[in-house]
Amino acid sequence: MSDPLRAVLVCGGRYHDIDYARTELLKLLGETPEIRTRVFEDYRDTKAIAEADFLVTYTCDLRPSAEEQDALAAFVKGGGRWFALHGTNSVLDMLAGGVATPRTFPTLMETLGSQFIAHPPIAPYQVTVSAPDHPLVSGIEPFEAEDELYLCEYHGEILPLLETRFTGQATGFAEADWPEDEPRLVMYLHPVGAGSVLYLTLGHCRGHYDMRPVMDYYPRVERGSWELPVFYDLVRRGLRWASEARSD
């Protein structure tokens, strides 16, 4: 009989249907009976994170304190695995000149390996495999996602797993001009000390009430890549990878 695996799931923030993402991730975590999950809206319970076998996050504009950032970095450096989805690397200021992304959380972004800067209007884009022999993406065929295409800054050693291409304008963002034709990473690994972060930018979702206070009622429900079987395949692989941390 194997011992249970201790997972911490952090789902919180703004501008996304956090309830939907939390429910779907708990369903996927629940597919492995050995995984016992504690759920939080933020990073304040640093003791629970330190005691976890692995960490899973789906957030947007969640702003950890300096102490919380240090605890997250220590968790990964000490050998922990962190599976971060979608907006975990985002910090957003709604300004008159567009949505700004302040560089005020360096420890968080350096631990994650990236910081979200902008995305163009949601539209379908092609996702391709960067490392076809890696078990996290082996056998994945190119696919089309209708999701937020993340344009990011990167920190430290990065192993690209999935990518797309984009040149043009990220309308509505303060840093809107993206002229360089270079890979825009959709999934990557970032080693930190004895541990590692797996980041998957896909997973946008939004309901009617998730843009408050910007607007009272968002006119449509968006489910993004949650409508794609390949996305669930990628998340299952990510959770399996994260849950293997204790055996390494």
pLDDT of residue 183: 97
Residue 58 pLDDT > 70, yes or no?
yes
Residue 49 φ/ψ region, left for φ over 0, alpha for ψ in the -120 to 50 degree band, beta for the rest: alpha
What tens digit of pLDDT does each residue of 183-237 get? 999 999 999 999 999 999 999 999 999 999 999 999 999 999 999 999 999 999 9
Q: What is the mean pLDDT of residues 164-168?
A: 98
Listed in sequence order, the residues at least 6 apart from 222 whose beta carbon sits closer than 8 Å to its beta carbon are 122, 204, 205, 206
pLDDT of residue 41: 98
Based on DSSP, count helices (H) and strands (E) in the chain, helices before strands: 5, 15
pLDDT of residue 77: 98
Block residue for tokens 């962190």: 82
* Separation CA 55–CA 37 (nearest Å): 10
Listed in sequence order, the residues at least 6 apart from 32 whose beta carbon sits closer than 8 Å to its beta carbon are 5, 239, 243
Domains and CATH numbers, the chain: 5-116+154-160+185-247 (3.40.50.880)
* Separation CA 227–CA 230 (nearest Å): 9
Confidence of residue 101 (pLDDT cuts 50, 70, 90): very high
pLDDT of residue 1: 61
Return the half-sphere exposure (C-beta side, CA atoms, 13 A cut-off) of residue 53. 19
Residue 139 pLDDT > 90, yes or no?
yes
Listed in sequence order, the residues at least 6 apart from 46 whose beta carbon sits closer than 8 Å to its beta carbon are 67, 68, 71
